[in-house]
Structure 1
């Protein structure tokens, strides 16, 4: 099979990239493994016209709209390899070997959570990563920040706009690392600092310490470490940014990678996560990829 563009990842960024290409009547294939990053979340917020809807309903409606275009094909499969083939690419997904002139990577990322018992089960329900997405619904209640590194201080300083904030150091930040300047900032924002080690999370969001005591919060925020989902991304020779927040494919402002004919968009290209930003990313990528087929 041969396509002009193969889009790897059929969530918000990938579907958004598909739309301008479909409207230009280009032959495109979307390969999707069905693992949206926000599949654990009950509601999506901070996306104009879609605020409060379930993430799955947004994705399903987007797919239905894209699939109305006759030049769009869909393959529900996991990509296991992508190889350069002269001036094109060979995409291997299951038993399928697919040839493409251009590749758009919109695979998203996987989140690594701190190894705290009860955390993963509540991810997207009472454990969050984005205050813009989930902070408002906590109604200015009690909010916790679970430290996963020094970058969690940034999160702790933001969150008082959404409620009374406690920073749980949990042995991830040493009190000696908190200099007078950062302590003054935390104090100004009325952030409480809890140094006790956490044993587990119970109930809706009860923080249980190793000494047996517990503290109830309405929601707990944690900055995950994001990881690329597939080794073939590295094998392509793409430049990867790596820091304390995780990994991301490096792109130009127009979503081009360092490998000719390969583009990337959405969460796989940045830290954090946002449906709205992923949609915008995808729209730009689709347009740039289309123009590259002409010029």
Structure 2
């Protein structure tokens, strides 16, 4: 096992984690990034809404980000955290590749997992023609035939959102009672199906429709599956982080500055704010890093004053 002492460990090498790491490395902090290499958007054809990088492949974006962090002295470890916990005035992080790291502070940027409906064929198309976010993918499916699945209390409103990009929207409640929301859909021209989607029709590596529970099929070009999300905190339970729960899923609890419930541990990006886009997650990572660095500077100054007074 390799033992390392550093200032800051960033757990998660996605847009938020790398953005935080870049900011901290440029602030001359000793930074170690631990990344499992399993980004949430890995199956997407391109990342959208990121100024200057529109349409870039998600893996290409992360590769560029890693090189930028390393150019300022940051270290990248490709591994999974298997244990993390407070250790006196620092934190101890252990990985499955044998790294044992002691750090003054930690940034959690592990992202979130999408909880997809249990419909055969759905996961295989995820990020391509099975999507969830109109701002991430709406342009790519503009003017196409879209089916929106009822997966939770906000799904009907999600269907209303996609009506901005196409006038051919079909909503499937999937057995959930949406009450007055269905009247709003009907008033805006969105069809509400009485059948339940039970499968996906694929021809030539392209989604062409859905199977319904009455044995019929409906021709579609894309399916929207609004997802609940769960914060990725595997290996991090020893930190004792507070986790918030809602109908939309779970997230690490943070304040406006990114502090978690554990002093010395911050969180950034989708692990704390599941609904944020890539550009927002990257910006949040940078902001959390700036706040962290500033607080560490003042902590050191206060400690120096205290030591000076003790020496008198």
Query: Aligned residue for 1:105?
Result: 108
Partner Cα separation in structure 2 for residue 238 and residue 30 of structure 1: 19
Partner of 1:148: 151
2:33 aligned residue: 30
The change in CA–CA distance for 1:261 and 1:112 in structure 2 (over 3 A counts) is same
> Residue 252 of structure 2 contacts residue 272 of structure 2 at CA under 8 Å; is this kept in 1?
yes
C-alpha separation in 1, matches of 2:144 and 2:201? 18
CA offsets 1:172-229 (integer angstroms, 9 cap, x no match): x13xx413xx233212321111121222101133111122211122211111121122
Give me the whole-angstrom Cα distance separating, in 1, the residues matched to 2:139 and 2:215. Answer: 30
Residue equivalent to 1:86? 88
Q: Does residue 167 of structure 1 match 2:176? A: no
- Indicate if the aligned counterparts of 2:6 and 2:32 stay in contact, CA closer than 8 A: yes
Pairs aligned (count): 289
Match for residue 305 of structure 2? none
- Give the whole-Å Cα distance in 1 for the aligned partners of 2:25 and 2:234: 29
Q: Secondary structure at the match of 1:201?
A: strand
TM-score, structure 1 normalization: 0.94
Looking at structure 2, the residues matched to 115 and 37 of structure 1 have their Cα atoms a distance apart, in angstroms, of: 18
Q: Displacement, 1:290?
A: 1.1
> Which TM-score applies when normalising by structure 2?
0.89
Query: Equivalent residue of 1:256, what SS?
Result: coil
In 1, the alpha carbon distance for the partners of 2:251 and 2:80 equals: 20
**What corresponds to 2:76 in structure 1?**
74
Work out whether residues 229 and 274 of structure 2, in 8 Å CA contact, stay in contact via their aligned partners in 1.
Answer: yes
Gaps of 5+ in 2: 299-312
Q: Per the alignment, in what secondary structure is the counterpart of residue 199 of structure 2?
A: strand
What are structure 1's unaligned runs of at least 5 residues?
Answer: none
Secondary structure of the structure 2 residue equivalent to 1:207: strand
1:227 partnered with 2:230: yes
- 2:276 and 2:122 map into 1 onto residues whose CA distance is 19
Q: Secondary structure at the match of 1:67?
A: helix
Partner of 1:5: 8
Instruction: Measure the CA separation in 2 of the matches of 1:51 and 1:277.
Output: 14
- 2:126 is matched with 123
User: Cα distance, 1:292 vs. partner?
Assistant: 2.3
Deviations 1:24-67 (A, max 9, x none): 11111000010101011111111111111111111111111111
My pick for the range that moved more, 231-240 or 59-68, is 231-240
By how many angstroms is 1:272 displaced? 2.3
Which residue in 2 is equivalent to 1:187? Answer: 186
Out of 224-233 and 212-221, give the one that drifted further: 224-233
Distance between the aligned counterparts of 1:272 and 1:82, measured in 2?
26
Residue of structure 1 in register with 2:271 after alignment: 268
Could you say what the CA RMSD is over the residues aligned between the two structures, in angstroms?
A: 1.3
Q: Which residue of 1 aligns with 2:179?
A: 178
> Which stretches of structure 1, 4 residues or longer, exceed 4 Å deviation after superposition?
none
Corresponding residue of 2:161: 158
